[in-house]
Structure 1
Amino acid sequence: MAWSTREIADLAGTSLRSVRHYHQVGLLPEPDRRSNGYKQYGVSHLIRLLRIKRLVDLGFGLTQIAELGDADEHPEEALRALDADLAAQIERLQEVRAEVAEMLSRRLPTDLPAEFADAATGPISDADRRFASVMGRLLADDERELYAQLMSPEARSPSDDDFDALTADADEAAREDLARRMADDLVVLRERFPGIGELGGADSGRYRRTVEQVSAEVFNPAQLDVLRRMRALRGAASRATPPTPDVS
């Protein structure tokens, strides 16, 4: 009694394609052929194929299965390593599920970290939202906590609102006045939040380049000019919320 390729694939609960692939990578030995050229599989092939299928279903890769060979029916060390990996995956999935549940229950936006969504209790400008989305990826955990505080209504000043409302055709006097007020407000903000000058410190080059790129796309020419003026007045590297780019 011998089985064809299709028959042994059906018995093992796998596909013809998988059986052929196992032959190609050397996991499953080639069987003898009948006089008509068709392969004929025996019990040893079926048992080997069942073992491969079982290990694949458990999560082993084909390279790992090849390393195990056929001699060890109970590869304890490999199974323990797999168990540890599965435990880590389960923990991560539980964390993700908890995050998704929070997003569903609180209707949080998907582009902002939860702490940023908490801080932005009221409407925020499109520019602030874009910055927050990028900063959520760019900043370390402790820096995100600080940035979230900068997004809170308590950290905003009238000059921030005026900056958001500044039109591209704002005149020279309006730009200079706003730059001076923002520079003064930034001094106060740095006193309240001493760490804002070190945001992005772990990779300051990437942080600076990213802030410049986002700024160039979300701010109009008058706003960028105000930021340059503010830097000239105070030598500041970042504005209150979001961070000040270096556009000089």
Structure 2
Amino acid sequence: MNSGEIAAMAGVSVRTLRHYHQVGVLPEPPRRANGYREYTVRDLVLLLRIRRLAELGIALDEIPSMLETGRRADAVLDELDRELAGQIERLTARRAAIARLRAAGASPDTPPELAGVLGAGAAGGPDLPPEVLQHDREVMLLLHHRLDEDGRAALAGLMSQVTEPRVRAATTELTARFAALAPDAPDAEIDRLVTAFQSVLGHLDLAGFEDVDPRIGALLTAYQESVFNDAQREFLARLSQVVSEGTTPAAPTP
């Protein structure tokens, strides 16, 4: 048999056959006078055994010792079974994440834990400009990536509160006002918006955000500088201050 014939009989490609030769798992047979390899039925049997082991997922460098002695068969199969069990668990988790994203109408890059609050219609949905929704998603992605497990749970809990029907209408209206802030908006307008936001935040449970890593704050500041105008950044700075200090901004001048 030549290489094409034995490959066809074994159900592998000629390229795979040559790869087995190159890595040393399948010895090369002698060549005929015309330079072509001459395979025997024994070569076919060995190739079939290699194919079966490879299909199980056994690494090629493990196969020669198994073929020679079989002593490591149980250990290799146990290890392979554990690896496959882990893969099944990871794939099952991925499918569950996909299902959550689909159910929420969320984009594929949304953390599954936040799918319900960042999906279509959540947190203002179509009532807010697309760029505002995009900013919200990007901030949530940054936070989710940098927070630890407890912080992520706190973030999901906070976003669930924000998207409750009784709160969502207020936050949507205030977010729209924030988006409409002109770069040269007067201090009085900024302070009125801070007061309005603080009123809403006062009804939310902010547990879990008391000791946020300063590096996260620096990251968010860098993001804000890249997407928001001067008045919007000033608003965020004032809001952060009054929330952290538990104070109320001075009454704005009418």
Q: TM-score, normalised by structure 2?
A: 0.73
| Cα 1:185/1:105, change in 2 over 3 Å | closer
Deviations 1:153-210, CA, capped at 9 Å, x for gaps: 449767655434322231344345545x389669847x832321334x4xx53x3453
The answer to whether the aligner puts 1:146 opposite 2:160 as a matched pair is no
- The residue identity in structure 1 corresponding to 2:99 is A
Offset, 1:14: 0.7
Cα distance in 1 for partners of 2:109, 2:239 equals 30
The answer to whether the aligner puts 1:123 opposite 2:136 as a matched pair is no
Offset, 1:228: 3.6
- The residue identity in structure 2 corresponding to 1:170 is A
| Cα 1:60/1:105, change in 2 over 3 Å | same
| Stretch of structure 1 that moved more, 154-163 or 165-174 | 154-163
Q: Relative contact order, CA 8 A, sep 6+: which one is greater? A: 1
Q: RMSD in angstroms over aligned alpha carbons? A: 3.3
SS at 1:194's partner residue?
Answer: coil
SS at 1:85's partner residue?
Answer: helix
Cα distance in 1 for partners of 2:201, 2:210 equals 11
Say which of 22, 25, 32 aligns to 1:24: 22
Cα distance in 2 for partners of 1:110, 1:165 equals 29
Are the equivalent residues in 2 in contact too, given 1:119–1:149 (CA < 8 A)?
Answer: no
| Stretch of structure 1 that moved more, 169-178 or 46-55 | 169-178
Cα distance in 2 for partners of 1:234, 1:12 equals 74
| Stretch of structure 1 that moved more, 158-167 or 80-89 | 158-167
Deviations 1:34-53, CA, capped at 9 Å, x for gaps: 11211111233222211221
Are the equivalent residues in 2 in contact too, given 1:103–1:109 (CA < 8 A)?
Answer: yes
Deviations 1:70-127, CA, capped at 9 Å, x for gaps: 3218711101111111112112222222332333344333333344233453415322
Partner of 1:93: 91
| Cα 1:187/1:94, change in 2 over 3 Å | closer
Say which of 80, 104, 110 aligns to 1:82: 80
Cα distance in 2 for partners of 1:98, 1:159 equals 34
Partner of 2:60: 62
Are the equivalent residues in 2 in contact too, given 1:183–1:234 (CA < 8 A)?
Answer: no
Cα distance in 1 for partners of 2:176, 2:188 equals 17
Unaligned runs of 5+ in 2: 126-131, 246-254
Partner of 2:183: 168
Partner of 2:206: 193
Partner of 1:241: none
Cα distance in 1 for partners of 2:63, 2:229 equals 59
| Stretch of structure 1 that moved more, 95-104 or 46-55 | 95-104
| Cα 1:163/1:97, change in 2 over 3 Å | same
Cα distance in 2 for partners of 1:62, 1:119 equals 47
| Cα 1:140/1:186, change in 2 over 3 Å | farther
| Cα 1:218/1:68, change in 2 over 3 Å | farther
Aligned length: 228
Cα distance in 2 for partners of 1:56, 1:12 equals 13
Partner of 1:103: 101
Percent identity, aligned pairs only, is 33
| Stretch of structure 1 that moved more, 169-178 or 54-63 | 169-178
Cα distance in 2 for partners of 1:198, 1:164 equals 28
Offset, 1:225: 2.6
